[in-house]
């Protein structure tokens, strides 16, 4: 093959020549060697093989595998190829017809044991190739993979395609073969003697003596080397603490017994009419626990967004307190109208943001979706419920609440995979819509047409505002938006509880459920108040409008305890006197407590605060469900409360910290951390470009710096260029990277990075040792090896990404500064690590342009 066919692209003043495109058919030993040779000569290499395990081998050799669409290949015994089905042959033929016209060189090596070589390239495919293209048929000795191949000959077709069908290629490379063979012989002979440049046999050497059988024409006696057993290797003994299964089981039994005891006490010490709500609450928490644990990590941000939208069902509580005519008639009704508007900001805005996020994860190759089919049940369900209700079955709306609750559960369950995630938004919209519709039916006998118009106006006003906000928000600002929406849910809960007290206080004197209602009103107000002001502080810190540092002064913890004690004291006062001033005082203290609690947490821990506040909004909704004896609110509140609690737990485990440490403390060293010594190494952009362009496997680890610098678009473009040129690129995401769970997954999806190559920490950590380059962009603590190597480090025990195990590690940062934990990172001083200093966005754009320029030469 002429060298011009195999070379890399060239660029001159007269223009540029793109690199050669090479297709290798069959990736066994000869095929893999062909891939590596073509890649080393600068060509773009593509390959095919029927064996599924060959894909990784092709990528390792520097090629990109292409496969027939919609069919699965069959593999023969021992991993060899075998004859394929007619469907596979047809699909493969279409694949070759698509790709072969673009190729400069096609190398075929496909063979099936004990059978003639399969015919893969037919006359029409050859006719579609460009003049000057070459087909090297290494299977020609068995008939060839090309229908035009003539074994032992080179032919040139009428359209200028050269087909090489030599069957004696090894003998045609006599010079190379002789050099390699003679080199091996000389090295073998020189190994017998002590001299470097002459043949001197040292028969005293044991290996030489045992290898020799003749000297100067005389046979030597057989000598077998004496085998000396190797000294036993001293194994380091590590003290292993035996697992105490008995203690573990005792703990489980104790927890279960305590929970059962509390449940029995609550059920037997409350009015019988409350037991149904208690059962609903218990089952909903259990279902929520298992449903939320099933949500994939990459979709944790959409999970928080959809639960935010569902929490807008606090509107149902506001509807039960609403009244008046076209306008509210008293203070309670004005509070309810305000709560209704705020709730619909959450409902419409939350679902719209969720739709936008999930659409970012959609791939061009995904199958079509038919969500418009759900219009039928969207109309049929409320119609059927209305029919039965009009027929005199007054409990029809309760059935509607049940259906709405099931669809809300389904909306979270659908987030268990990318394939079903978008239907989850539809299910959530239907569930919330049906819930509001059933509440309107429930209220019909006691509410006039004018009040319905008032509620519709409030809902439209809030929904319109939510839609405008959701359409304008950028993915970078999602954490702030979630915090802002949480504050609206909290305030709506407070207003609804206050309005419920004003509307129903005179009934509490004789109502057997008075204690339950009072407790729900009080704790709904307190939890809602903490959620309201706490979310405002979280929003301000995330948006940069409030200092990121935690509030620090000597009496900080005492202040929290004092406000908590005051809240408990006011609870006793309210339960015994039903005093509205006591409820107002508790509301004020809860506002102050929410502000103080969240302001006491540093900006880097705001993601945990957001999940905690998400959980709080759910429990506030549960309180409303108890207050109104409404099982729908109890169900969805339990789902949201469970969701926030589980996300909080996941993030705390990922940081190896307790929730108390996050909310009331900070990172603390366990002793004297190991001293870090050494000198860091630096690379410039061009050096990193060369490293990436010549790598076969690259893992990119993004952190908060990528978010802050908005470098995801440049990184996405660079990823596409590398993949198109045969480099395997993947991403590793730490659970606490970014400002909220899953935010980096959303940002990468928005930039066009397919979720197929984005992996969680647990999925990718074992792959770093086989990786050529790990590129860390704006991450620090989550890649700090002292978490594993230094038991006295403040990060000790925290799971981290093992980027230092790659052959080369590049860390892109502004400086050598520590991360949030304030711990120096020994990664910066490791022998295989290089620092690339600069702004994330501009530096990633320079890397992208450099990689593009490299492959376009």
Which among 198, 206, 203 is positioned nearest to 216, based on CA atoms? Answer: 203
Distance of CA 378 to the CA centre of its chain: 32
Task: Enter the tokens of residue 303.
Answer: 């999970």
Instruction: Give the CA-trace dihedral at 266, 268, 274, 278, to 10 degrees.
Output: 40
Catalytically annotated residue among 49, 137, 605, 781: 781
Tell the burial category of 209 from Cβ atoms under 10 Å away from its Cβ (0-12, 13-18, 19+): middle
Distance CA 522, CA 589 (A): 12
135 - beta bridge partners?
A: 106, 163
The H or E element that residue 795 is part of is none
775 - beta bridge partners?
A: 700, 810
Distance CA 400, CA 406 (A): 10
Three-state secondary-structure class, residue 15? strand
11 - beta bridge partners?
A: 16
Instruction: Give the CA-trace dihedral at 836, 837, 841, 843, to 10 degrees.
Output: -50
Task: Enter the tokens of residue 275.
Answer: 């037991």
Paired sense of beta strands 154-156 and 162-164, if any: antiparallel
Report CA Rg, the chain.
35
DSSP assigned state of 67: -
Tell the burial category of 216 from Cβ atoms under 10 Å away from its Cβ (0-12, 13-18, 19+): exposed
* Residue 245 CB neighbour total at 10 angstroms: 8
Distance CA 80, CA 82 (A): 7
DSSP assigned state of 813: E
Contacts of range 46-50, beta carbons closer than 8 Å, 24 or more positions apart = 46/21, 46/22, 46/99, 46/103, 47/23, 48/23, 48/24, 48/92, 48/95, 49/81, 50/74, 50/75, 50/81, 50/82, 50/84, 50/88
Nearby residues of 273 by Cβ (< 8 Å), 6 or more positions away:
512, 513, 629
Instruction: Give the CA-trace dihedral at 792, 797, 800, 803, to 10 degrees.
Output: 50
Distance CA 648, CA 741 (A): 9
Distance CA 423, CA 431 (A): 12
Distance CA 26, CA 47 (A): 7
- Look at the block and give the residue holding tokens 């520097």: 62
Query: Catalytic: 781?
Result: yes
Task: Enter the tokens of residue 592.
Answer: 């102050």
Which among 677, 672, 651, 674 is positioned nearest to 663, based on CA atoms? Answer: 651
Q: How far is CA 335 from CA 321, 343, 524, 722, in A?
A: 9, 12, 15, 58
CB 824 within 8 A of CB 818: yes
> Is the Cα torsion angle 440, 442, 448, 449 positive or negative in sign?
positive
Q: How far apart are the first and last CA of the chain?
A: 21
Task: Enter the tokens of residue 477.
Answer: 């600002």
Distance CA 141, CA 116 (A): 9
Distance CA 355, CA 470 (A): 10
CB 26 within 8 A of CB 81: yes
* Residue 394 CB neighbour total at 10 angstroms: 12
- Could you list the active site residues? 781
């Amino acid at each position: 093959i002429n060298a011009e066919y195999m070379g890399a692209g060239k660029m001159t003043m007269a223009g540029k020549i793109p690199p050669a495109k090479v297709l290798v058919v069959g990736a066994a030993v000869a095929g893999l060697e062909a891939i590596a040779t073509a890649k080393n000569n600068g060509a773009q290499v593509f390959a095919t093989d029927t064996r599924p395990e060959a894909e990784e081998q092709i990528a390792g050799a520097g090629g990109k595998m292409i496969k027939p669409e919609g069919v699965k290949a069959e593999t023969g015994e021992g991993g060899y190829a075998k004859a394929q089905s007619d469907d596979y042959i047809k699909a493969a033929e279409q694949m070759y017809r698509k790709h072969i016209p673009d190729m400069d060189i096609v190398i075929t090596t496909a063979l099936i044991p004990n059978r003639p070589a399969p015919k893969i390239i037919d006359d029409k495919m050859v006719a579609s190739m460009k003049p000057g293209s070459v087909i090297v048929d290494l299977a020609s000795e068995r008939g060839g993979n090309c229908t035009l191949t003539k074994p032992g000959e080179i032919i040139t077709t009428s359209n200028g395609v050269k087909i090489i069908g030599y069957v004696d290629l090894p003998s045609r490379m006599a010079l190379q073969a002789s050099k390699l063979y003679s080199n091996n012989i000389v090295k073998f002979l020189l190994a017998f003697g002590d001299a470097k440049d002459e043949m001197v046999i040292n028969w005293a050497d044991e290996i030489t003596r045992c290898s020799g059988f003749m000297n100067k024409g005389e046979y030597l006696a057989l000598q077998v080397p004496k085998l000396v057993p190797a000294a036993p290797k001293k194994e380091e003994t590590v003290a292993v603490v035996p697992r105490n299964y008995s203690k573990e089981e005792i703990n489980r039994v104790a927890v279960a017994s305590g929970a059962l005891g509390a449940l029995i006490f609550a059920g037997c010490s409350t009015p019988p009419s409350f037991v149904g709500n208690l059962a609903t609450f218990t089952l909903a928490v259990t279902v929520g626990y298992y449903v939320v644990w099933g949500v994939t990590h990459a979709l944790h941000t959409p999970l928080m967004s959809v639960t935010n939208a569902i929490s807008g069902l606090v509107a149902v509580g506001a509807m039960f307190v609403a009244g008046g005519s076209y306008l509210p008639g008293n203070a309670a009704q004005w509070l309810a109208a305000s709560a209704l508007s705020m709730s619909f900001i959450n409902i419409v805005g939350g679902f719209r943001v969720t739709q936008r996020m999930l659409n970012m994860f959609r791939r061009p190759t995904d199958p079509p979706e038919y969500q418009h089919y759900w219009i039928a049940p969207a109309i049929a369900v409320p119609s059927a419920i209305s029919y039965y209700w009009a027929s005199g079955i007054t409990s029809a709306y309760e059935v509607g609440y049940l259906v709405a609750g099931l669809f809300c559960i389904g909306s979270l369950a659908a987030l268990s995979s990318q394939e079903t995630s978008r239907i989850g938004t539809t299910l959530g919209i239907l569930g919330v819509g049906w819930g509001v519709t059933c509440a309107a039916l429930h209220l019909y006998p006691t509410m006039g047409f004018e009040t319905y118009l008032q509620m519709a106006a409030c809902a439209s006003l809030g929904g319109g505002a939510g839609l405008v906000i959701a359409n304008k928000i950028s993915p970078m600002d999602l954490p702030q938006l979630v915090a802002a929406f949480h504050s609206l849910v909290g305030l709506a809960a407070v207003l609804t509880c206050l309005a419920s007290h004003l509307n129903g206080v005179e009934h509490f004197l004789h109502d057997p459920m008075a204690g339950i209602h009072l407790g729900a009103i009080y704790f709904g107000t307190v939890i809602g108040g903490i959620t309201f002001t706490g979310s405002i502080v979280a929003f301000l810190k995330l948006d940069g409008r409030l200092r990121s540092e935690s509030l620090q002064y000597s009496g900080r913890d005492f202040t929290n305890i004092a406000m908590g004690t005051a809240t408990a004291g006011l609870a006793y006062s309210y339960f015994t006197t039903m005093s509205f001033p006591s409820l107002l005082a508790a509301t004020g203290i809860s506002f102050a407590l929410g502000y103080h609690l969240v302001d006491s947490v540093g900006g880097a821990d705001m993601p945990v605060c957001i999940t905690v506040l998400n959980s709080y909004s759910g429990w506030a909704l549960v309180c409303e469900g108890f207050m109104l004896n409404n099982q729908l609110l109890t169900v969805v509140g339990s789902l949201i409360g469970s969701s926030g609690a589980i996300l909080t737990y996941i993030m705390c485990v990922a940081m190896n910290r307790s929730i108390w440490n996050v909310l009331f403390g900070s990172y603390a060293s366990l002793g004297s951390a190991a001293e870090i010594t050494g000198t860091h190494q630096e690379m410039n952009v061009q050096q990193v470009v060369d490293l990436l362009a010549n790598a076969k496997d690259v893992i990119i680890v993004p952190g908060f710096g990528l978010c802050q610098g908005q470098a995801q678009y440049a990184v996405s473009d660079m990823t596409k260029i590398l993949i198109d040129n045969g480099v395997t690129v993947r991403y590793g995401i730490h659970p606490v990277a970014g400002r909220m769970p899953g935010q980096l997954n959303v940002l990468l999806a928005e930039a066009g990075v397919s979720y197929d190559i984005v992996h969680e920490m647990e999925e990718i950590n074992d792959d770093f040792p086989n990786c050529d380059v790990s590129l860390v962009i704006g991450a620090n603590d989550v890649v700090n090896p002292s978490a594993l190597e230094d038991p006295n480090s403040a990060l000790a025990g925290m799971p981290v990404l093992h980027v230092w195990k790659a052959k080369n590690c590049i860390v892109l940062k502004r400086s050598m500064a520590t991360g949030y934990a304030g711990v120096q990172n020994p990664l910066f001083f490791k022998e295989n690590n290089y620092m690339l200093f600069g702004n994330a966005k501009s530096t990633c754009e320079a890397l992208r342009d450099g990689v593009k320029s490299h492959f376009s030469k």
